[in-house]
Chains A and B, each alone.
Chain A
Amino acid sequence: MKKRKSGITVWEIVLFTVFLAIAGGASVFFFFLNSTDVRKAQQKYAWVQHINSVLDEICLEIANSAQFEHPFNGSSPECFFKVAVESGTLLPDENQEGFSFSNNTLVYMSRSAAATNDFRRLGRYENPLITNCSDGKFTRQSSDQLEIKFYANAPGVPNSGREFYRLVNLRNR
């Protein structure tokens, strides 16, 4: 009569060790997730993502403007354009809207023959749209291309800035 092996087998020991290793690794990983480094990295990522979504909105606004006015050529810390009037045609409005880098912020503003005002908000973003930025400029690369470039510093973390760079195709010139 064959005697069956009783007790724990090698296979089960290996399986147990593998699961133990996975559990140990996972717990170390969860401690790492709670660490300050990860929190800082997440905050920085959220900041970068916020600026990028603001830039998306700005690029959409500029790209769909009915008539682009201000940096006719060369570069400038501000740009102005005329949006389309709400008539279903592409007739430009008489007031100009624009974005301006001033006092280390980027603001959304309107300009008419009489006055220049800051808007309260652009879409879901409050004015000033971006704070703590420097060297910002709008460069007209060609008749239908605008480049936005600036350097922004992360809030509260020194020497951790980043350069942001966007190209915009001016659909209606």
Chain B
Amino acid sequence: MAETPSRSIFEKLIYLGIATFFLWPFVQLWSIKALPLFETDTHLRASVALENLMEEALCRPYDRASSKSSFQPVKGGEDINLYGRVEVFLHPDMPANIMIRSTVRWGMFPFSKSLSLEYLRARTRP
């Protein structure tokens, strides 16, 4: 069998560059967490669910203790496995304020995505 000449480091770099050139758009799609053509509607639904979750959390009276809840299924989002969670905790830098953070999560494990929204409130209501 004839010995194939091994590629030089320069050639390997060129291959890497070509591969990156082709794959870079897909990497960017991963960073925005959505394929614009197929998943924008899912994204929009998740963001509306997120807003609803936050507004509902703002309506509830809150206590001073921080509470960490687990993800609960969101009504109406069963087909995309939409789960939501609301956390209430003291702001780490400003202890006079509390932070309310709502998070929604959807999709299956390796491709699951999440959005979160935070709201800063005074601890005593006016």
Q: Does B41 contact A (CB under 8 A)?
A: yes
> Looking at the complex, which one of A2, A48, A168 makes contact with B41 (CB distance below 8 Å)?
A48
Q: Inside 8 A of B56's CB, which chain A residues have their CB?
A: 145, 167, 169
Report the interface size for chain B: residues with CB under 8 A from the other chain.
18
Question: Which A27-74 residues sit within 8 Å CB-CB of chain B?
Answer: 33, 38, 41, 45, 48-49, 52, 59, 63
Contacts A5-B2, A22-B22; A145 near B40 (Cβ below 8 A): no
A29 to B36, CA, bound (A): 14
Q: Does A165 contact B (CB under 8 A)?
A: yes
Q: Closest CB of chain B to A154's CB: distance in Å?
A: 12
Q: Does A132 contact B (CB under 8 A)?
A: no
CB <8 Å contact, B41 and A45: yes
Report the interface size for chain A: residues with CB under 8 A from the other chain.
28
CB <8 Å contact, B44 and A52: yes
Q: Closest CB of chain A to B118's CB: distance in Å?
A: 15
Q: Closest CB of chain A to B22's CB: distance in Å?
A: 6
Which secondary structure dominates chain B's binding surface? Answer: helix
Q: Inside 8 A of B4's CB, which chain A residues have their CB?
A: 5, 9, 11
CB <8 Å contact, A33 and B37: yes
Q: Does B27 contact A (CB under 8 A)?
A: no
Q: Inside 8 A of A145's CB, which chain B residues have their CB?
A: 55-56, 59
> Looking at the complex, which one of A4, A15, A19, A38 makes contact with B5 (CB distance below 8 Å)?
A4
Given contacts A145-B59, A166-B48, A166-B52, 7 further A-B contacts (CB under 8 A): A5-B2, A45-B40, A165-B52, A166-B51, A167-B51, A169-B55, A169-B56
**Closest A-B pairs by Cβ, 8 of them:** A169-B58, A145-B59, A167-B55, A169-B55, A167-B52, A169-B59, A144-B59, A167-B56
Can you list 21 residue pairs at the A/B interface with Cβ under 8 Å? A2-B3, A4-B5, A15-B15, A22-B22, A45-B40, A45-B44, A48-B41, A48-B44, A52-B44, A59-B51, A141-B59, A142-B59, A144-B59, A145-B59, A163-B76, A165-B48, A166-B48, A166-B51, A167-B52, A167-B56, A168-B55
